Structure 1
Amino acid sequence: MTIPFNRPYLVGRELDNIAKAHANGHLSGDGAFTRSCHAWLEQRTGTRKALLTHSCTAALEMAAILLDLQPGDEVIMPSFTFVSTANAFVLRGAIPVFVDIRPDTLNIDESLIEQAITPGTRAICVVHYAGVACEMDTIMAIAAKHGLKVIEDAAQGIFSTYKGRALGSIGNLAALSFHETKNVISGEGGALLVNDPALVERAEIIREKGTNRSKFFRGQVDKYTWVDIGSSYLPSELIAAFLAAQFEAADAITARRLAIWDRYHDWAAPLESGGLLRRPTVPVDCIHNAHMYYLLLGDLAGRTRFIEAMKASGIGVVFHYIPLHSSPAGQRYGRTHGVLHHTDATSDRLVRLPLWVGLEDHQDHVMQVAQDILGQSPEP
């Protein structure tokens, strides 16, 4: 038996929607399915404006343009994140400033942000790791005090909340992902959420290659033209049609993922009590979306043995980020503030278990194999 780390889930109406898009004669961006997805995201998150993009990376790049970042400007962010979080700002000439993460949630340590601020700081980019919210009240207060913008990298955070507010609706801007490894998917795909009303019109322009084409289609101008910098950040209508079907089943998908997550969490409790691992932490004022289930093992050697043994048993488990501050590009384009002890330790110890809709039939096997392997490993 082979159990993959991830298996994309189809809800059943994706291909019907794609056929409808073809029948409508509109396959490029911003058709009826795109507008439907925008309305759905705005209603579910409470954002001022949602705009589908061809990836979360594209949404982050749009955010960097919207903030008018200039060469030498600084953006504070965690190092324990995907490369797109930093790349989007480096492309504008900005400098990522990496700070450490909290040992509990693995999110940026809000207590370290203020001391990393310099006269060149322009923004804070937070990453809601595993769909668990950062401490946003503190972060937004710091940003307000120092006149900074906040970008939420909520690639993993759709349907999660912080004190009742949807992730992606709190900062000035936010980016979502619909990559095939996420909770709702379109293969590739993402969205920019614009919460600052002053940025809405320009976001539309940047997304449409720097033109006011959106105004033209709304009848607000009699022709459209090039008015700003931008690029082609729209997904095709086929992508939106696929995503619209996923949105219709979003609550059912989330419920099934949460049930899998809860079973893992209950299973891992005695292993944590026995000192074999540490389970994920979810603060009481956060509701997560079961994006992933990870374990923190004792050290790098133990994590390596576990992954190799699980794979030998036909079960796909993976580690996660190599910290950006330790990467060649991170050292070239960014700088580190302080010692990133928790970032380095987490990168060495973290392993992700399979979590996808349909795993229910195989989860007992995954847990039994994992428990047998962990029981044979030296204690940390």
Structure 2
Amino acid sequence: MIPFNKSFIIGNELLYIEEAVKSGKISGDGIFTKKCQSFFQEKYQFPKVLLTTSCTDALEMAAILSNITSEDEVIVPAFTFVSTANAFVLRGAKIIFADSSIKNPNIDVDKIENLITSKTKAIVVVHYAGIACDMEKVMEIAKKYNLLVIEDAAQAIDSYYVFSDGTKRALGSIGHFAAFSFHETKNIISGEGGMLVINDQKYFDRAEIIREKGTNRSAFFRGEIDKYGWVDIGSSFLPSDIIAAFLFAQLEKFDVIQNKRITIWNKYFHELKELKDKGFIGIPQIPKYATNNAHMFYIICKDEAERSNLIDAMKSVEIYPVFHYTSLNKSQFYLETNESIDYINAEKFSDRLLRLPFFYELTNQEQEQVISTIKYFYFKSRI
């Protein structure tokens, strides 16, 4: 069987978990949490990093930091995971969906400005498959209308945006806030786990308070105050140091993991390009302003029926690809209080996109089997 995803141990994960337990502190902000946060701040020049229990929690923290209320509207891509919208719905915001680009599942930045009203508070972008949205345009719009920008970078660790002047910055360092995921399906994993990046210093102190249940507990442990108490809203967003211990062991092997994933991605790309050139499928294209972190490899089928047939064909030989999001504008929850609006490109990706098996321990032989099965499906069905 070749699964879509498989979690893995690559180094000192179990050793560090034991070390965390023996340290006598396995709750939040232990030694490994601090090591992970320092790693990301140094590697990507993020001004402030706070580990969280999930990317969902990081997004919810960003929504609180943005002071989102029921009077606000937040622009969100229609093709995304529910957490991207839910974090702001929980604060009472009205979600304004934007369609995907015709070229890839990312938000169509050219349609954002027409969605802005006097109630718009923030723009949320999702770097789908680790490929950057056009952040230069997004930030220009945000500056023009005095809006906050939140990067949902769940899939985008180790991806960069290349500005028109040639400078390059890590995704997550450009908007006001960014949320990352270390779920077991991501490049670097800890089972569950996430990270909030705060790029504006004026939010640093409040972010710590929100993360610590609305208390100034972090300042107390640094000796900055003589006691701590309830000073704001918040929740328990800190991950156990056991999660951070697993994560730090992965970070020590960061380059090894990324090099392997890039090799897998490139093989899919070159081997399946023939099907793309013959017009059978679509495959990912990397814009000139983006880099590729090899988060996933997907193909675009002709229609939903073809995708279903391909899935069945692959499952018959025990290969398990998966499709992705249902466009949120078609979700039951959204339609309970909103009229149905079509987003052509988002719905195209929802109906036609198929993610191929992709994980660190995927062998060359297994990948060859995935590729040959896809080629057989298309070529045989057209003989």
TM-score by length of structure 1 reads 0.97
CA offsets, 1:340-377, max 9 Å, x none? 11111111111010011121331111111111112234
The letter for the 1-side match of 2:326 is I
CA–CA separation in structure 1 for the residues paired with 2:194 and 2:56: 8
Which range moved further: 57-66 or 356-365? 356-365
> Are residues 1:45 and 2:48 paired?
no
> Are residues 1:355 and 2:354 paired?
no
Contact 2:134–2:289 (Cα < 8 Å) also in 1: no
CA offsets, 1:244-277, max 9 Å, x none? 0011111110110000000000011111111110
User: Which of 183, 195, 200 is 1:196 aligned to?
Assistant: 200
> Are residues 1:331 and 2:335 paired?
yes
CA–CA separation in structure 1 for the residues paired with 2:381 and 2:233: 55
Runs of 4+ in 1 over 4 A off after TM superposition: 333-336
Alignment correspondent of 1:117? 116
CA offsets, 1:309-349, max 9 Å, x none? 1011100101110000000112245678x741111111111
CA offsets, 1:94-153, max 9 Å, x none? 011101011212100000000000111000000000000000000000000001000000
Distance 1:378 1:99, change over 3 A: farther
The letter for the 1-side match of 2:345 is H
Q: Which runs of 5+ in 2 are unaligned?
A: 163-167
**What pairs with 1:49-128 in structure 2 (closer than 5 Å)?**
49-128=48-127
CA offsets, 1:289-321, max 9 Å, x none? 110000001011101100111011100101110
Alignment correspondent of 1:231? 235
CA–CA separation in structure 2 for the residues paired with 1:378 and 1:231: 56
The letter for the 2-side match of 1:307 is I
Alignment correspondent of 1:151? 150
Alignment correspondent of 1:244? 248
Alignment correspondent of 1:343? 346
**What is the Cα-based RMSD across aligned positions, in Å?**
1.3
Alignment correspondent of 2:9? 10
Alignment correspondent of 1:131? 130
Contact 1:269–1:279 (Cα < 8 Å) also in 2: yes
The letter for the 1-side match of 2:312 is E
Alignment correspondent of 1:166? 170
Alignment correspondent of 2:34? 35
CA–CA separation in structure 2 for the residues paired with 1:259 and 1:149: 36
Quote how far apart the aligned CAs of 1:72 are: 3.2
The letter for the 1-side match of 2:79 is F
Name the SS for the 1:282 alignment partner: coil
Which range moved further: 250-259 or 370-379? 370-379
CA–CA separation in structure 1 for the residues paired with 2:354 and 2:52: 30
Aligned-pair identity (%): 51
Alignment correspondent of 2:165? none
CA–CA separation in structure 1 for the residues paired with 2:302 and 2:207: 45
Q: Which runs of 5+ in 1 are unaligned?
A: none
Quote how far apart the aligned CAs of 1:44 are: 1.8
Contact 1:95–1:335 (Cα < 8 Å) also in 2: no
What is the total number of aligned residue pairs between the two structures? 377
CA–CA separation in structure 2 for the residues paired with 1:122 and 1:377: 50
Distance 1:11 1:344, change over 3 A: same
TM-score by length of structure 2 reads 0.96
